[in-house]
Chains A and B, each alone.
Chain A
């Protein structure tokens, strides 16, 4: 296969590469452990940020004459943090994990099958898959040649889109040191039989919310395990493909971790639990409090934390190990700012009453910042209340100032019911009153028609769930199993998190690496698994918030448990 003239050129390059490599190896041995640590760190930086060893952006040429550099040329862009690659737009990006790159290429049916048959891709994609590109194991030397010339270790030309890099030998040595660790060891929390997940609950969540979530999770996990047990009880039941994948699947084991006490202590509680029972990922869960301590744990241990139900995610993040439904109260504040700024009249004055905890402070600050950035001359006032008595006094004070076009926004604290009851007991006689979505379920008893007409909510969920065909499927799934649907939104959110997890794991074969799980979650979220709880749920590479907007809604006067949208879907 190998072209002889290329071979001579390569052998020259190999000779110099090898000499340089030996020199570098010798120096690194002399320098001891720190040298190889820094080589690894430099390789990691090259892979993730496209920065060469000398600190300059790495340069490369793609598609014959297109110059790319730095981040646009970083390996991670296409091959992703796990090294398993992303297939997109008909381009097959082969995996470059350590076990695959530094071993001769082998044709593995279970690896090829999902790519060939379980993805919707154009014919060019499967044409590429049918070219086996057999090659020996990569070495630092052959990697150096490949990265520069685009000719792989087997002598075949790589696709033109793969950049041809201008790398020094130091760059290649550093990159190789990093590539040797890329998805080289299976992540903790998984063995031959099962995979261990954790669902996090906080003890301040009322049982009426907690129990339906737990029941949904237990039902889902039970059925997943039943299906697998059934498949395994029938060896060789399908001679074609299904039976080949059954041994690769794992039984799910879900632990419930109930966090107690102050929010600041949650990180330690999760840490302690993790040390005693290493788990693969945190999935779903319901907490009343900031997700930030748990997010810190996830980022520190590279543990995926998928789709918890929380009003206080770590807003604004891209990348990281926590994946959320939405930006929670931060999103609601942004949407409200957009609505106020773009809805006449422009003479509106804005009053905010905010609790002194994160549930009040995070959105009120965001709203204030967005309003003043959008219209610096806007009349705007924020008051912080520390207790109910104070809120009551402030309400009375603000009510006196409110004019017809003014807006009063109330951001209740951790327990929203106190603030909502206060508003309902002494509703201002004029002006628009806005509450966050977490107050909606607490206001169904409002009878005063005039007040109903002036009451608004920010609602990041879908209003007409039945617009989504999958809502019927999920509801039927729950009903046929005798699951009481008392909190549809929470239960559908839980179901979505678990069905997305199942879809992601299905495509991972036995490659149980946490980075790869996050990448599969990003990928599978593009498929329509949304049971109608949000208008759209989709991530994308490095995106961490699946839903990106909200409605402004009011209660239906004829049926106060129903919502009517008074705005379009607003994406701030």
Chain B
């Protein structure tokens, strides 16, 4: 089981959030104090944040409109980018993570930060561009600059491996809630493991864009 792996050039644990993790493990209930970013996180899975370098492979994937997307070029977008892995028949958190993108975009828009989203399917043989399109329109509102990607399974595996997100048992139900943020082209990636609110995610992106940490 590949858990919490990553090229850990710099590891930044959030004090409060990791404390919450400990809280979970010891099995207590009740409040563990006010969350770092203003929410009252009473019970939640721990979130881990690391900064790492990933080499995006040269692969061509298809988006929800059947357009060819050269992933390495697309992720070198001058705007900040966010990458997630998902699949359309996922039962737990994929819908919730996708629903979050629109509000993240809105919050960043208020701070004048443009962003592009890339959701890459880990079930590419089932998730045809048509299914990706149907999935994306289920989210209301549909965020702008959102590419949902599919492609040959070997290419998808290559992308997952490059982000240290590959689950070698090929069991898609074991996929982890990972979010990758890159503030500027050529910079390192911020890797977030775990579920977080849209406000917390938007804050993370803002911090990444405004700080020089990932240069």
Contacts and interface: CB of A to CB of B under 8 A. Distances in A.
A567 to B, nearest CB: 13
Given A66-B198, A122-B176, A72 B39 contact: no
> Which among B91, B95, B126, B177 has the greatest number of chain A C-beta atoms within 10 A?
B91
A157 interface: yes
A482 interface: no
Contacts of B89: 540-543
Interface stretch (A57-65, A247-255, A386-394): A57-65
Contacts of A528: 169-170
A133 B110 CA distance: 41
A93 interface: yes
A456 interface: no
A160 interface: yes
B201 to A, nearest CB: 9
Given A128-B24, A538-B172, A91 B92 contact: yes
Interface stretch (A82-90, A212-220, A272-280): A82-90
B133 interface: no
Interface residues of B, number: 51
A160 B24 contact: no
Nearest to B177: A89
Interface residues of A, number: 52
B199 A64 contact: yes
Contacts of B24: 124, 127-128, 131
The main secondary structure of chain B at its interface with chain A is loop
Contact of B44 (A93, A130, A159): A159
A88 B97 CA distance: 14
Interface string A507-551: 000000000000000010011100000001010111100001100
A68 interface: yes
A407 B63 CA distance: 31
Given A65-B199, A540-B126, A548-B125, A157 B169 contact: no
B1 A122 contact: yes
B130 to A, nearest CB: 11
Given A128-B24, A540-B87, A161 B195 contact: yes
A469 B142 CA distance: 44
B99 A68 contact: yes
B44 A540 contact: no
Given A80-B91, A131-B29, A65 B171 contact: no
A66 B96 contact: yes
B173 A127 contact: no
B140 A526 contact: no
A122 B177 contact: no
Contacts of A130: 27
Interface in A40-73: 62-72
> Which among B92, B99, B140, B171 has the greatest number of chain A C-beta atoms within 10 A?
B92
B42 A65 contact: no
B210 interface: no
A52 to B, nearest CB: 16
Interface of B: 1, 3-4, 21, 24-25, 27, 29, 39, 41-46, 87, 89-93, 95-96, 99-100, 103, 123-126, 128, 138-140, 152-153, 169-177, 195-200
18 contacts: A63-B195, A64-B199, A66-B96, A66-B99, A67-B103, A68-B95, A72-B95, A72-B139, A77-B91, A86-B173, A88-B90, A88-B93, A89-B174, A89-B175, A122-B176, A131-B29, A540-B173, A541-B91
Given A66-B103, A156-B43, 13 more contacts: A1-B29, A63-B195, A66-B198, A68-B99, A88-B92, A90-B177, A120-B1, A122-B4, A128-B24, A131-B24, A157-B29, A541-B91, A571-B124
Interface of A: 1, 62-72, 77-78, 80, 86-91, 93, 120-124, 127-128, 130-131, 156-161, 163, 523, 526-528, 536, 538, 540-543, 548-549, 568, 571
